[in-house]
């Protein structure tokens, strides 16, 4: 067991019941406080921990790290140190904040510099996203979409069971939780119309996803095997892959998504390390037909992470519309990364990969409004008496996620985004 994951650990920082951030988590992110420049932080309970201050005060001196990585506006340079080093930092933080360790607890001057109440800090983008790839890896989601738009008896395209389907997305429009999203504009071809029209999307959707962050770069021409892949995956975030279904539906044949996807994607601000999620590993599904050798893997590569989506109308209360689980994936992260690089495509520190929409087997587990409302034919009733086929202006979409086992809950917080009218 990773020492920092020990379920018996307690912190001298108060941790509310069912917090996403017990001492066993220790995610990494970027915060801004007052007039200070953005810098690296973590969180225990509701208390932010300024890692730049902790480093400056000498608490990482024994790790022989260049403290400048904690003063950067993104995690990229910290992640690039490699897992041996970043794991040592997480272990050191765990030790400092354990309930029986007095070295910081009894130093009031140092605590005043290191501990930050969450309301007094702003969470920023945790990584500078270099490149972005979105996958299409839930069998249930792919089957639902194929059933709606093609032949229900042949819902999956011929390649789907043989490789993790993906496309290259837009890195620059990935934004941190809380950033408002303007309804996108573009071409659409309404049903039975002879010609396309231009205007604001009428079928704005969310997609419930997880995203993984690449921590290590590779050289052009280098492939990463499934056995090596986790060495290159630093951690995970919640990921809302906003989608304009009417724009997407008109443009995606023959080359795939473009304007229907590139206007925005939202991520949660804390990157939860693979190490912290180690306790939630489970076996993957049997893959039939058998995959090619480069996609074969050993060990537990799926993660049992509960996911939920809520819609909050402007001025109203949030209403849960979907509960799914990250384990509902046919293709896992190591297979996705191995396929991504098998042609020699290089990775950059900070690259991000979306899992694809995470849908389960029952209607209440579908991870998009496209599925939940079945292309608009089955509107969802809201507590205020309204209905939703897709997302309205003024709606805030909220996604949450956590794993829970043996009394320990490791979560991601929230990723939220409010939809503003088209400009």
Q: What residues are annotated to the active site?
A: 141
**Measured distance CA(395)–CA(376) in Å, rounded:** 17
Q: Which helix (H) or strand (E) holds 199?
A: strand 197-200
Q: Which two tokens stand for residue 354?
A: 């979306």
**Measured distance CA(130)–CA(214) in Å, rounded:** 10
**Measured distance CA(25)–CA(28) in Å, rounded:** 10
Burial class from Cβ neighbours inside 10 Å (0-12, 13-18, 19+) for residue 87 reads: middle
Rg over CA atoms, the chain:
22
How distant, in Å, are the alpha carbons of 189, 196, 198 from that of 192?
8, 10, 16
Burial class from Cβ neighbours inside 10 Å (0-12, 13-18, 19+) for residue 195 reads: exposed
**Measured distance CA(242)–CA(258) in Å, rounded:** 12
332 within 8 A of 211, measured Cβ to Cβ: no
The length of the chain in residues reads 423
**Measured distance CA(399)–CA(389) in Å, rounded:** 18
């Amino acid at each position: 067991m990773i020492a920092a994951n020990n379920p018996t650990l307690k912190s001298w920082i108060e941790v509310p019941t069912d917090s996403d951030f017990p001492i066993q988590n220790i995610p990494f992110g970027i915060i801004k406080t007052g007039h200070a420049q953005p810098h690296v932080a973590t969180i225990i309970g509701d208390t932010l921990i300024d890692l730049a201050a902790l480093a400056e005060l000498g608490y990482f001196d024994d790790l022989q790290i260049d403290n400048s990585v904690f003063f950067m506006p993104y995690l990229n340079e910290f992640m690039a140190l490699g897992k041996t080093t970043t794991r040592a930092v997480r272990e050191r933080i765990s030790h400092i904040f354990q309930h029986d360790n007095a070295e910081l607890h009894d130093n009031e001057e140092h605590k005043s510099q290191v501990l930050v109440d969450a309301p007094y800090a702003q969470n920023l983008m945790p990584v500078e996203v270099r490149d972005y790839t979105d996958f299409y890896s839930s069998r249930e989601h792919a089957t639902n979409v194929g059933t709606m738009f093609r032949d229900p008896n042949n819902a999956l395209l011929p390649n789907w069971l043989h490789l993790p389907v993906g496309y290259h997305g837009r890195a620059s429009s990935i934004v941190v939780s809380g950033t408002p999203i303007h309804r996108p504009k573009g071409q659409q071809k309404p049903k039975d119309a002879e010609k396309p029209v231009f205007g604001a999307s009428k079928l704005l959707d969310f997609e419930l996803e997880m995203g993984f962050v690449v921590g290590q770069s590779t050289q052009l021409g280098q492939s990463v095997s499934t056995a090596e892949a986790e060495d290159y995956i630093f951690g995970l975030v919640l990921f809302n892959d906003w989608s304009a279904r009417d724009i997407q539906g008109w443009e995606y044949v023959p080359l795939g998504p473009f304007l229907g996807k590139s206007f925005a994607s939202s991520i949660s601000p804390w990157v939860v390390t693979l190490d912290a999620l180690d306790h939630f590993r489970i076996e993957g599904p049997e893959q039939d037909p058998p995959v090619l050798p480069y996609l074969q893997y050993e060990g537990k590569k799926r993660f049992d992470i509960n996911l939920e989506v809520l819609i909050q109308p402007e001025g109203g209360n949030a209403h849960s519309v979907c509960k799914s689980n990250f384990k509902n994936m046919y293709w896992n992260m190591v297979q996705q990364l191995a396929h991504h690089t098998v042609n020699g495509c290089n990775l950059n520190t900070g690259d991000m990969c979306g899992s694809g929409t995470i849908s389960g087997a029952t209607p209440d587990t579908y991870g998009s409004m496209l599925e939940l409302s079945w292309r608009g034919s089955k509107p969802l009733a809201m507590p205020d008496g309204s209905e939703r086929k897709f997302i309205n202006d003024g709606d805030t979409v909220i996604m949450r996620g956590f794993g829970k086992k043996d009394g320990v809950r490791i979560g991601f917080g929230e990723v939220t985004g409010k939809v503003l009218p088209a400009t």
